[in-house]
Amino acid sequence: MRLIVQGEGPESRSNSPAEWCYSAAMITVIFVEADGTVMNCQGEVGQTLMECAVGAGVTGIIARCGGGLSCLTCHCYPSGEKVVALPEPGADELEVLPFVNGYRADSRMACQIQLSAEMDGIEVRLPESQLNDDLIED
C-alpha cells in the first residue's frame, strides 16, 4: 500500500506542490476459511486484524460494527507459532468471547488485535459462521 502525503519539502519553497511518498510496513496474514480456502493477505502494521480481513475481502469476517466489539462478527482462531506475538485479550474482549458462535479456548475477536511486525506470517482460522449471521439482513 502506498500512501501519498502532501507536505512541505524543498520543492514547496518555489511554490510548487510537493508529494512525499512512503510505504507503510506490511505483513502477511494467512486466513483459512472454514471450508479450507486459504487467503494470503497483506496487512499494514498498526491496523487491526479485522481491517486487514475486510480490506482483503475475506468472507468469513463480517465485521458489521466496524470494530466496536458489539456485533461479534469478527470471531477468529489465531494459530501457529506466531500466536505468541498476539497481545493478551482485554477485559471487554474476554467478557464477550463466551457468546460467539463456536467459542473455544483460542477464540479471539479480530477487531481487538492490532497487527505488529512480529505477527508476520500468522495463520488465522475462521469459524463456520459468525454469531449474528442469521440475525442480520443484507
What is the grid cell recorded at 136?
Answer: 442480520
What stretches of the chain show up as alpha helix (H) in DSSP? 49-56, 91-96
DSSP H or E run through 19: strand 19-23
Burial class (CB in 10 A: 0-12, 13-18, 19+), 18: middle
With respect to residue 7, please indicate whether it lies within any of the assigned structural domains: no
The more confident residue out of 3 and 133 is: 133
Cα four-point dihedral sign 82, 44, 49, 59: negative
pLDDT in tens, 75-90: 999 999 999 999 999 9
Please give the residue range of the domain that contains residue 122. 25-135
pTM for the full model?
Answer: 0.78
Counting residues of the chain whose pLDDT is more than 70, the rounded percentage is 78
With respect to residue 3, please indicate whether it lies within any of the assigned structural domains: no
With respect to residue 78, please indicate whether it lies within any of the assigned structural domains: yes
Q: How many domains does the chain have?
A: 1
With respect to residue 17, please indicate whether it lies within any of the assigned structural domains: no
**The CATH number of the domain where 58 resides is what?**
3.10.20.30
Q: Could you tell me the CA-to-CA distances from 14 to 7, 10, 127 in Å, in that order?
A: 13, 8, 57
